[in-house]
Amino acid sequence: RKSLTIGLIPADGIGKEVIPAARTAIEAVGSDIPPPKFVDLVAGFEHFTRKGVALPEETIEVLKNDCDCALFGSVSSPSKKVAGYSSPIVALRKILDLYANIRPVVSVSPDPSKPSAVDMIVVRENTECLYVKQEQQTVGEHGREARATRLITERASTRIGQMAFELALARPRKHLTVIHKSNVLSITDGLFRESVRAIPAKEPRFEAVTVAEQLVDSAVYRLFREPQIYDVMVAPNLYGDILSDAAAALVGSLGVVPSVNAGDSFVMGEPVHGSAPDIYGQGIANPVASIRSAALMLRHLGYTQAADRIDNAVDSVLREGQFLTPDLNGSAKTVQVADAIVKRI
Ligand code: NAD
Ligand code: K
Ligand code: MN
């Protein structure tokens, strides 16, 4: 590549505070990546309230035609149905076929020579499950009734399973836990479980990975009691969403957990957290999740050295403890943390 074109979609709330911070981190890596070109793109609930559209066609076209990758902030999706609105991030994952959501959850060890207490990757299927959003309400004999379709396909379960095996194979422990609830949902979760478990027989190199499986509720329980047992977890969309937010509590804050939405031909970094309306506008959002998402995006594109430099800078700032935002019991502002990280890159 002669240059790296990166779409920036801050969207709503603290997304507008943390995505600019991630941009400064990318700019700081210099010649470890091709010269970056940033393209500012719009989407989100605020854009919807002003312009009547949450995900403009232009944003989609520019991402598809001009960008090598992208960074997404967060959207403020209302909890109640708003006519004409649907979440742009859920739509983008489908439109760009970003079928895997990869969420590393790692605690920073106070001593860099010691292993982290928590060091896992939650691999979340990103295109189906209840997120196909086929809901309906009817009126039955005893009042209103609501139903939702939960789609699980062999194709999507197999490709997310392959991604999870690949990630597990590259890690020292090579351990994969398949998350499901097929004791109750034997047809849907049963298909997910079977599809993932069938992979090593077809791809013998994955036989080096040890495979365990666990019901989602007991997985949350064990996650809190003995997080060190997990290496890579693979889960259908909704369980993966919940598990990774829960795992974030173990490493101090949602404000430090990054992710990438990855497909076969595009990758989009995105902090796991939402738009955090409770702190938006104060300049105190933790930029670490977005900065790490930028690193993860670069890593996915093969720029390992640039990604390492960003991650090492973040680790050292977190260890030093001088520039921490209030979610980590500090008193630094977003820009102060970002500046401290940029200096160390
Ligand atoms: P949230 O992740 O926005 O916030 C949860 C809690 O974590 C809040 O107390 C918040 O202050 C804190 N927090 C989150 N990120 C932080 C950061 N970077 N620094 C410091 N503190 C941080 O979840 P929520 O409150 O349940 O949802 C708020 C809105 O975000 C909702 O409209 C929801 O739909 C949306 N949301 C969007 C996404 C996304 O864009 N993919 C994901 C989750 C939620
Ligand atoms: K987000
Ligand atoms: Mn979530």
Catalogue all structural domains in the chain, each as residue range(s) with its CATH number. 1-102+267-345 (3.40.718.10), 119-250 (3.40.718.10)
Distance 262 CA to ligand 1 centre (A): 21
Q: Could you give the CA distance from residue 103 to residue 330 in angstroms, rounded to a whole number?
A: 25
Q: Is the confidence metric ipTM above 0.85 for this complex?
A: yes
From 275, 318, 333, 336, mutation site for ligand 1 pocket: most ligand atoms within 8 A of C-beta: 275
Q: What is the pTM of this model?
A: 0.95
pLDDT, residue 111, reads: 86
* Nearest-atom index, ligand 1, CA of 289: 18
**Residue 115: its pLDDT value, please?**
85
For residue 84, the cross-strand partners are: none
Q: What is the pLDDT along the chain (345 residues), one digit of tens a residue?
A: 899 999 999 999 999 999 999 999 999 999 999 999 999 999 999 999 999 999 999 999 999 999 999 999 999 999 999 999 999 999 999 999 999 999 999 998 888 888 888 999 999 999 999 999 999 999 999 999 999 999 999 999 999 999 999 999 999 999 999 999 999 999 999 999 999 999 999 999 999 999 999 999 999 999 999 999 999 999 999 999 999 999 999 998 999 999 999 999 999 999 999 999 999 999 999 999 999 999 999 999 999 999 999 999 999 999 999 999 999 999 999 999 999 999 999
What spacing in Å lies between the alpha carbon of 34 and ligand 3's midpoint? 32
Compute the distance between CA of residue 216 and CA of residue 10 in angstroms, rounded to an integer: 32
* Predicted pLDDT at 321: 94
pLDDT of res. 297 = 98
Selection from 7, 5, 67, 10 nearest residue 271 by Cα: 10
Report CA(239)–ligand 3 centroid distance (Å).
Answer: 10
- The torsion angles phi and psi of 180, rounded to 5 degrees, stand at -160, -175
Whole-number pLDDT of residue 114: 87
Chain CA centroid to CA 133, Å: 19
